[in-house]
Amino acid sequence: MAIHKSALKRNRQNKIRNARNTHIRTTMRNYVKKVRIAVAEGDKENASVFLAKAVPYIDKAATKGVIHKATASRKISRLNKLVNALAED
């Protein structure tokens, strides 16, 4: 257990940041999951709607440092590719 004042403060900050990061990561994953489920069901309209909601959350996670910017870019690219492939069928 931390004893120094600065270490105690650092622990408090880490708990707050961890909670924020967990919330952002979980929300992002849920939106990605909704897009993938809609694509699996072949529902183009819902997939497009969920994609439009997922992209800002992925960008937000990258901006906040929860995920790397290249990871965010890759996720967005792959989701777009899935939805666009569904539109062609």
Structural domains in the chain plus CATH codes: 5-88 (1.20.58.110)
d(CA 66, CA 26): 11
What DSSP line would sit under 6-63, residue for residue?
HHHHHHHHHHHHHHHHHHHHHHHHHHHHHHHHHHHHT-HHHHHHHHHHHHHHHHHHHH
**Mean pLDDT over all residues of the chain?**
94
Q: What is the pTM of this model?
A: 0.84
Q: How crowded is residue 49: how many other Cβ atoms within 10 Å of its Cβ?
A: 14
Q: What is the pLDDT of residues 23-60, one digit of tens each?
A: 999 999 999 999 999 999 999 999 999 999 999 999 99
Q: What's the chain's Rg over C-alpha atoms?
A: 17
Q: Is the dihedral of CA 77, 66, 23, 20 positive or negative?
A: negative
| Residue-level pLDDT at 2 | 83
